[in-house]
Amino acid sequence: MTTLIRNGTIVTADLTQKADILIEGGRIAAIGQGLVGDEVIDATGCYVMPGGIDPHTHLEMPFMGTYSADDFESGTRAALAGGTTMVIDFALPAPDQSLLDALKIWDNKTARAHCDYSFHMAVTGWRQQVFDEMAEVVDRGITSFKHFMAYKGALMVNDDEMFASFRRVGDLGGIAMVHAENGDVVAELSARLLAEGNTGPEAHAYSRPAQVEGEATNRAIMIADMAGVPLYVVHVSCEDSHEAIRRARQAGKRVWGEPLIQHLTLDESEYQNPDWDHAARRVMSPPFRDKRHQDSLWSGLMSGSLSCVATDHCAFTTTQKRTGIGDFTKIPNGTGGLEDRLPLLWTQGVGTGRLTPNEFVAVASTNIAKIMGLYPKKGAVLVGSDADLLIWDPEATKTISAGTQQSAIDYNVFEGLSVKGLPRVVLSRGSVAWREGAVETPEGHGEFVARAPGQPV
């Protein structure tokens, strides 16, 4: 059986064309005029684009005896609802846990996934076992390794550990990733703020100023350069970090920066909200910044010094957030975004003239696929590519609201924002996965996508 998408305008990272798409066996079989297929999806008035890829999620992430509220079921449902057809989640071993054991645990979480997924592996400590298992992890199709420069005493690795791990990643043909904040300084500032009686959510922002992120980014870049490994900096939230990335790229280094949709659209004033819940729900690391930093992130996407837009989706309910009443360091870090990333990026990016539709596809999907070794299986509209496709209606509008969202949590940090540009139909490997507000594929439709090591873009 074949499926035909007809009358749409195909928009990819480098091309806009009016053409039909024929799908067979989950893949794109033909692109052209006047094609014929069994099942026909009409895309009149719509753009047909590669499905979004979210390179940064934390679904069912363990935290202090509980878990982040969206698991692979509700999380990937939210993803599809917002036009994202693949997520890459982080497998997080405990500091002394086997990487392979962690991987098994994460595999187990995915049974009900609605869309395709892959993993990054976190390196949260350094010893011979980690060194050895990294090769096996790569063999299993996981080629990107995350390092935390913050969360001292928990996930954080020191410079010498990071250097050793980066070298190993480079030797294996993988990509090094960092959460870049100076953990020593954050720990000191946090302790001082608490000691001075600053216990509320706004103090979370004070404890991790932009300089702290800029410094760590700059440091990670140097270490990656010395180790000979390409570097991917997650959640770039500020000019300080962006400047370091820009400077590195200008020196010919292979470094990519990933701003989040949250940092592109929300700012630090949220933490001044007198409602503790309102502010605490926005607690994430790095925190929201001021407008000057927002401008910097957008100009990075426009000029190419920043490469991808992600969510760091890690949703906690208000009840979970309230663990941190009286001590901001105990507020679970994280916000949602999977359903809202593409509509917001389109509205505030394409709708304002900052990005062309092609650039939208690049930062929401194609660049990610290329960097992460998924291209052209994902992120492309090419013959042979997986038919992960969006039928995108640029005229559709809605107002974001927790009341109508897919996510399991009881609020939405974008509550009340209007968007113009929404997915009408979403296909995953050729099947209609989302249409008219509902998942159409069976639970567990999503599959693991293995990635091959080698030369990055």
Strands 255-257 and 231-233, by their bridges, are parallel
Nearer to its own copies, 123 or 439 (CB): 123
For 224-260, letters b (16+ CB in 10 Å) and e give bbebebbbbbbbbbbbbbbbbbbebbeeeebbbbbbb
Q: Could you say which of 312, 340, 386, 393 contacts Zn ion (CB under 5 A)?
A: 312
Instruction: Please report, to the nearest 10 degrees, the dihedral formed by the alpha carbons of residues 325, 326, 331, 335 taken in order.
Output: 60
> In sequence order, which ranges of 146-285 are alpha helices (DSSP H)?
159-171, 183-195, 201-206, 210-227, 239-250, 261-265, 276-281
Task: Please list every residue from 213 through 232 that binds Zn ion, using CB under 5 A.
Answer: none
CB closer to its own copies out of 105 and 382: 382
User: Can you give the length of the chain in residues?
Assistant: 457
Binding to its own copies by residue 32, rule CB under 8 A?
A: yes
Site string for its own copies, 232-271 (x = CB under 8 A): -----------x--xx-xxxx-------------------
Note whether 452 binds its own copies by CB under 8 A.
no
Q: Which stretch binds its own copies (CB under 8 A): 102-110, 117-125, 135-143, 302-310?
A: 302-310
Q: Beta-carbon neighbour count of residue 34 at 10 Å?
A: 7
Binds its own copies by CB under 8 A, chosen from 11, 78, 185, 308: 185
| Residue 135 is a binding residue for its own copies (CB under 8 A) | no
Q: Which of 363, 378, 383 is nearest to 448 (CA)?
A: 378
Closer by beta carbon to Zn ion, 313 or else 445 = 313
By beta-carbon proximity to its own copies, the closer residue of 164 and 203 is 164
The two most distant CA atoms of the chain are separated, in Å, by 70
Q: Binders of Zn ion: how many residues, by CB under 5 A?
A: 2
Q: Which position has the token pair 């592996």?
A: 121
Radius of gyration over every alpha carbon of the chain, rounded to an integer in angstroms: 21
- Residue 15 near its own copies by CB under 8 A: yes
Candidates 3, 9, 218, 412; binder of its own copies (CB under 8 A) is: 218
Q: Judged by CB under 8 A, does residue 163 bind its own copies?
A: yes
Count of residues in contact with its own copies, rule CB under 8 A: 56
Shortest approach of its own copies to residue 63 CB, angstroms?
A: 25
Who contacts 129 (Cβ-Cβ below 8 Å, separation ≥6)?
Answer: 98
Asked if 376 touches its own copies (CB under 8 A), the answer is yes
Give the start-end residues of each E strand in 389-456: 389-399, 418-428, 431-435, 438-439
Using CB under 8 A, pick the residue from 93, 209, 257, 259 that binds its own copies.
209
Lookup: tokens for 303:
């000029």
Task: Establish if 292 lies at the interface with its own copies (CB under 8 A).
Answer: yes
Nearer residue to Zn ion within complex by CB, 9 or 207:
207
User: Which of 116, 202, 215, 312 is close enough to bind its own copies by CB under 8 A?
Assistant: 215
Distance, CA of 331 to CA of 324 (rounded, Å): 4
Residue 377 phi/psi, 5° resolution?
-60, -45
Answer whether 118's CB lies under 8 Å from 141's CB. yes
Indicate the residue among 54 and 312 with the shorter CB distance to Zn ion.
312
Residues 265/214, Cβ–Cβ less than 8 Å: no
Among 77, 120, 179, 313, binds Zn ion (CB under 5 A): 179
- Point out which residues bind Zn ion (CB under 5 A): 179, 312
Which residues are near its own copies by CB under 8 A? 13-15, 17, 31-32, 158-160, 163-164, 182, 184-185, 187-189, 209, 211-212, 214-215, 218-219, 222-223, 225-226, 243, 246-247, 249-252, 292, 298-300, 302-305, 354, 356, 358, 366, 370, 375-376, 380, 382-384, 455, 457
